[in-house]
Structure 1
Amino acid sequence: MSRLTIYSDDAPDTVLQETANPRTIAETLRPLGIRFERWEAPVIPPKDAPTDDILEAYRPYLNGLMGETGAGSADVVRFDANTPNIGAMRDKYLSEHTHSEDEVRFFVHGQGAFVMHIEGKIYSVLCTQGDLISVPAGIAHWFDAGLSPDVVALRVFTDTSGWVAQYTGDEIAKRFPADIPKAAA
């Protein structure tokens, strides 16, 4: 279940607001320029489906989104506990960073938290299957899929060179670990 938790950036143990209502999540994030929505596909492809099948299942959504944003490419990213170098990959995503373009992700399977650091607050958004999030260019953030990740997600890029991070050097992510529920067996 999707969830938004907001903290003051100087009080990691104090929750300012929390909600699991997707509409409230979207309404809370919208003034910050963060897009959050649910996509209900008529068919959800299996986790091990070929990339082209996953892209085709969400093509109507992708075409609309890419037309709105001017994005030039979409791909599928998959990672789980067996992914080679998963520890190094996780560390890369867990370091606070920004991008020169919006970071757009749609969760086909699995879950992960996008955590944004904005104007003295931490906005932790647990995204689950069916969630789309778009973090605007320049917003400091990090991503955590937990110690045992199992994610299949669509990525949308304007710059076809893909994911490029500018690290802030702030170690704030260590003070705000994401609460990633264990996946159901």
Structure 2
Amino acid sequence: MSSLSVYHVSSPEIPNKVLTHLEDIASTLAEQGVRFDRWQTTAKIQPGASQEEVIAAYQEHIDKLMTERGYLTVDVVSLNSDHPQKAELRARFLDEHHYAEDEVRFFVSGRGLYSLHIGDYVYAMLCEKNDLILVPAGTPHWFDMGEHPHFVAIRLSSNPEGRVVDFTGDDIASRFPRLED
């Protein structure tokens, strides 16, 4: 189940609140400029489906968001616990960073934990199947895929050459809970 845990930066061990209802999560994140939504499809996606098949299943949603926000590219990223570089890939995004463009992820399957550092709070958003998160450009955050990653996600971008990660140098991410497998 998707959930949002909100922590004050001074108390990373105890959240101020934990939300599990879509409307509560979406409105709390919207107050911070973050979009959270759920997409549904009637198309059946088989394990091992190609990037094209995954995108086709959600094409209507993708087209709408690309038009609305001016995104130029779409692709699919897939990672599972058999990947030989899973530990390196996980470590790459565990430190606080931001991008000059929006970070958009739609979870086709699996899950991941986005932790957003906004002001004096950390918003830890556990995204699961059918969840869309849109982290605005410049928002400090980190992403944890867990020790045993399993997810397929659609990514939208406004930069055809790829995003450039800008690490903040703050060690805040090391003080907050990780994704438990």
Contact conserved, 2:13 with 2:177, CA < 8 A, in 1? no
Corresponding residue for residue 126 of structure 2: 126
The equivalences for 1:153-172 within 5 A come to 153-172=153-172
The aligned amino acid for 2:79 is: F
| Whole-Å separation in 2 of the counterparts to 1:28 and 1:82 | 35
Corresponding residue for residue 12 of structure 2: 12
Instruction: Give SS of 2:71's match.
Output: coil
Corresponding residue for residue 70 of structure 2: 70
Q: TM-score, normalised by structure 1?
A: 0.95
The equivalences for 1:1-185 within 5 A come to 1-180=1-180, 182=181
| Whole-Å separation in 2 of the counterparts to 1:93 and 1:44 | 31
Contact conserved, 1:104 with 1:155, CA < 8 A, in 2? yes
* Structure 1: stretches of 5+ with no match in the other structure: none
The Cα of 1:175 is off from its aligned counterpart by 0.6
Task: Figure out how many residues of one structure are paired with residues of the other and give that number.
Answer: 181
Contact conserved, 1:44 with 1:108, CA < 8 A, in 2? no
Q: Deviations over 1:13-35 (max 9, x none)?
A: 12101111011100000011100
Runs of 4+ in 1 over 3 A off after TM superposition: none
| Whole-Å separation in 1 of the counterparts to 2:5 and 2:102 | 21
Identity level (%): 39
Instruction: Give SS of 1:14's match.
Output: coil
| Whole-Å separation in 2 of the counterparts to 1:4 and 1:29 | 9
Contact conserved, 1:105 with 1:132, CA < 8 A, in 2? yes
| Whole-Å separation in 1 of the counterparts to 2:179 and 2:145 | 9
Instruction: Give SS of 2:13's match.
Output: strand
Contact conserved, 1:47 with 1:109, CA < 8 A, in 2? no
The aligned amino acid for 2:152 is: V
Q: TM-score, normalised by structure 2?
A: 0.97
* Structure 2: stretches of 5+ with no match in the other structure: none
Q: Deviations over 1:117-176 (max 9, x none)?
A: 011101000000000000000010000111101110000000011232100011111111
RMSD: 1.0
